[in-house]
Chain A
Amino acid sequence: MKNAPFLRSYTLFYLLFLYGPILLLPIFAFNDSRVVAFPLQGFTTQWFAEMAADQNLRNAAKNSLIIALSVASISTVLGIFAARASVRYRFPGKGPILGMVMLPLVLPEMIVAMALLVVLLSIGIPLSLFTVILGQVLICTPFAVAILTSAFQSLDRSLEEAALDLGETPLSTFRLIVLPLVMPGIMASFLICFTISFDEFIIANFLGSGQPILSVYIFGQFRFPAKVPSMLALGTVLVLFSIILLGFAEYMRRRGIAKAGGKDSGGFL
Chain B
Amino acid sequence: MAQIPSAEARAGLKLISPTAIYVILLLAVPLATVLVYSILTGSRGNVSLPITGENYAELWSRPVYGYIMLKSLLVALTVTFITVMLAYPVAYFVSFHVKPERKSLWLFLITIPFWTSYIIRVSLWFVILGYDGVVDSTLMSLGFMDTQLNIASYSILSIIIVLAHAYAPFAVLPIFVSLEKVDRSLLEAGQDLGESRWSTFLRVTLPLSMPGVIAAALIVFIPTVGDYVTPELVGDGKEPMIANLIETQLLKLANFAQGSAFAVASMLMVGIVSVVFVLLNRRFIGGQK
Which residues of A approach B to under 8 Å, CB–CB? Answer: 1-4, 7-8, 10-11, 14-15, 17-19, 21-22, 24-25, 28, 35-39, 77-79, 81-82, 84-86, 88-94, 97, 100-101, 103-104, 106-112, 114-119, 122, 134-135, 137-138, 141, 145, 195, 198-199, 201-202, 206, 215, 218-219, 222, 228, 231-232, 235, 238-239, 242-243, 246, 250, 264, 266-269
Q: List 12 A-B contacts (CB under 8 A).
A: A24-B134, A37-B138, A39-B141, A81-B16, A92-B9, A110-B243, A114-B246, A116-B27, A215-B119, A238-B117, A243-B112, A246-B115
Q: Name the B residues within 8 Å of A11 (CB-CB).
A: 89-90, 93-94
What residue in chain B is nearest A264 (Cβ atoms)? B104
Q: Name the B residues within 8 Å of A218 (CB-CB).
A: 117, 119-120, 123
Q: Name the A residues within 8 Å of B132 (CB-CB).
A: 35, 37
Grouping DSSP codes into helix (H, G, I), strand (E, B) and loop, the A interface class, with mixed when no group exceeds half, is helix
What residue in chain B is nearest A109 (Cβ atoms)? B226
Q: Name the A residues within 8 Å of B118 (CB-CB).
A: 199, 201, 215
- Count the A-B residue pairs with Cβ separation under 8 angstroms: how many? 267
Q: How far does the alpha carbon of A82 sit from the alpha carbon of B5 in the complex, in Å?
A: 19
What 1/0 mask marks residues of chain B from 92 to 104 whose CB sits below 8 Å from any chain A CB?
1110110000011
Q: How far does the alpha carbon of A201 sit from the alpha carbon of B232 in the complex, in Å?
A: 13
Partner-contacting stretch, out of B53-61, B152-160, B255-263: B255-263
Contact A17 B19 (CB under 8 A): no
Contact B30 A119 (CB under 8 A): yes
Contact A4 B97 (CB under 8 A): yes
What residue in chain B is nearest A195 (Cβ atoms)? B115
Q: Name the A residues within 8 Å of B111 (CB-CB).
A: 267-268
Contact A108 B12 (CB under 8 A): no
Shortest distance between the CB of B236 and any CB in chain A (Å): 10
Q: How far does the alpha carbon of A150 sit from the alpha carbon of B33 in the complex, in Å?
A: 34
Output the residue of A21, A86, A94, A239 with the most chain B CB within 10 A.
A21
What residue in chain B is nearest A100 (Cβ atoms)? B23
Contact B228 A110 (CB under 8 A): yes
Output the residue of B28, B123, B225, B263 with the most chain A CB within 10 A.
B123
Q: What's the interface size class on B, roughly?
A: 35 or more
Contact B120 A104 (CB under 8 A): no
**Is B133 part of the binding interface, using a Cβ–Cβ cutoff of 8 Å?**
yes
Contact B16 A86 (CB under 8 A): yes
Instruction: Give which listed residue, A1, A10, A78, A239, contacts B117 with CB less than 8 A.
Output: A239
Contact B8 A111 (CB under 8 A): no
Q: Name the B residues within 8 Å of A145 (CB-CB).
A: 19
Q: Name the B residues within 8 Å of A1 (CB-CB).
A: 96-97
Contact B9 A90 (CB under 8 A): yes
Contact B115 A242 (CB under 8 A): yes
Q: A37-B136, A100-B23 are in contact. Are A199 and B117 (CB under 8 A)?
A: yes
Q: Name the B residues within 8 Å of A222 (CB-CB).
A: 123, 126-127, 233
Instruction: Give which listed residue, B8, B90, B113, B227, contacts A19 with CB less than 8 A.
Output: B113
Q: How far does the alpha carbon of A246 sit from the alpha carbon of B114 in the complex, in Å?
A: 11
What residue in chain A is nearest B97 (Cβ atoms)? A4
Q: Name the B residues within 8 Å of A4 (CB-CB).
A: 93, 96-97
Contact A10 B89 (CB under 8 A): yes
What residue in chain B is nearest A228 (Cβ atoms)? B127
Output the residue of B31, B86, B138, B267 with the most chain A CB within 10 A.
B31
Shortest distance between the CB of A57 and any CB in chain B (Å): 14
Q: How far does the alpha carbon of A19 sit from the alpha carbon of B10 in the complex, in Å?
A: 49
Q: How far does the alpha carbon of A269 sit from the alpha carbon of B281 in the complex, in Å?
A: 20
Instruction: Give which listed residue, A14, A77, A118, contacts B256 with CB less than 8 A.
Output: A118
Q: A199-B119, A219-B123 are in contact. Are A37 and B133 (CB under 8 A)?
A: yes
Q: A90-B8, A97-B16 are in contact. Are A18 and B165 (CB under 8 A)?
A: yes
Q: How far does the alpha carbon of A218 sit from the alpha carbon of B124 in the complex, in Å?
A: 11
**Is B202 part of the binding interface, using a Cβ–Cβ cutoff of 8 Å?**
no
Contact A15 B134 (CB under 8 A): no
**Is B144 part of the binding interface, using a Cβ–Cβ cutoff of 8 Å?**
no
What residue in chain B is nearest A7 (Cβ atoms)? B93
Contact B229 A36 (CB under 8 A): no
Shortest distance between the CB of A173 and any CB in chain B (Å): 14
B152-210 with Cβ < 8 A to chain A: 165, 168-169, 173, 176-177, 180
**Is B151 part of the binding interface, using a Cβ–Cβ cutoff of 8 Å?**
no
Contact A85 B117 (CB under 8 A): no
Contact B117 A235 (CB under 8 A): yes
Shortest distance between the CB of B85 and any CB in chain A (Å): 11
**Is B149 part of the binding interface, using a Cβ–Cβ cutoff of 8 Å?**
no
**Is B68 part of the binding interface, using a Cβ–Cβ cutoff of 8 Å?**
no
